[in-house]
Amino acid sequence: MTRRRNRTEDDAPRRSAYDRALEMLSRREHSQRELRARLDRSGYDEADADAALARLQDQHYQSDERFAEMLLRSRIARGYGPCRIRAELATHGMPAATIRRLLAVAATDWQTLATAQLRRQFGVAGSRIPAERARRAQYLLRRGFDASTVRSVTHAELDEATDDAD
């Protein structure tokens, strides 16, 4: 009886860095920094990775600008604020000027978005209890809204709670 040998990854021909990066991009957009890190972790030579990334950019398969726009839309749809989005884009190597421009072009009403997140998480009714208001403010700050937006939204909610009590 002959024993069948299991095929391992070592037996399979190794794909090029270009093919590996293209496969990743076929699933979703990636930043150049993200692709570089994944190729490095996969053990590809630096020169091969550079050539693959340059080729992908030349063919318009990879674009940091497109990645940033996708990430921005995705995070706004999930209810995150501009501070959180700015920080996440920065971790992907986006220049500060690009981030500022994308946030300006997005033309998002951050106050409305913050109010919607607050209502989704805590319900419609505001609270006059200071500890509860502080908890709501912390929630919005963790979601990446700036302090002035949080203050504005929580004070508006306080005004609504006061009006309801009268």
Which two structure tokens, joined as six digits, stand for 43? 């053990």
Note the CATH number of domain 64-106: 1.10.10.10
Distance between CA atoms of residues 91 and 40, nearest Å: 17
Measured at the CA of 89, the angle between CA 67 and CA 62, to 5 degrees, comes to 20
Distance between CA atoms of residues 47 and 36, nearest Å: 11
Give whole-number Cα distances, 24 to 39, 49, 77, 112, 120, in Å: 10, 13, 23, 35, 34
Looking at the predicted structure, is the pLDDT value of residue 154 above 90? no
Domain ranges of the chain: 17-58, 64-106, 110-165
Answer whether 17-58 and 64-106 agree in fold.
yes
Pick the CATH number of 17-58 from 1.10.287, 1.10.3470, 1.10.10, 3.40.50: 1.10.10
pLDDT in tens, 33-65: 999 999 999 999 899 999 999 999 999 999 999
pLDDT in tens, 85-131: 999 999 999 999 999 999 999 889 999 999 999 999 988 777 788 88
pTM across the whole model: 0.78
Looking at the predicted structure, is the pLDDT value of residue 158 above 70? no
Looking up tokens 């950019």, which residue turns up? 57
Distance between CA atoms of residues 44 and 62, nearest Å: 18
Note the CATH number of domain 110-165: 1.10.10
Which two structure tokens, joined as six digits, stand for 164? 């309801």
Looking at the predicted structure, is the pLDDT value of residue 1 above 60? no
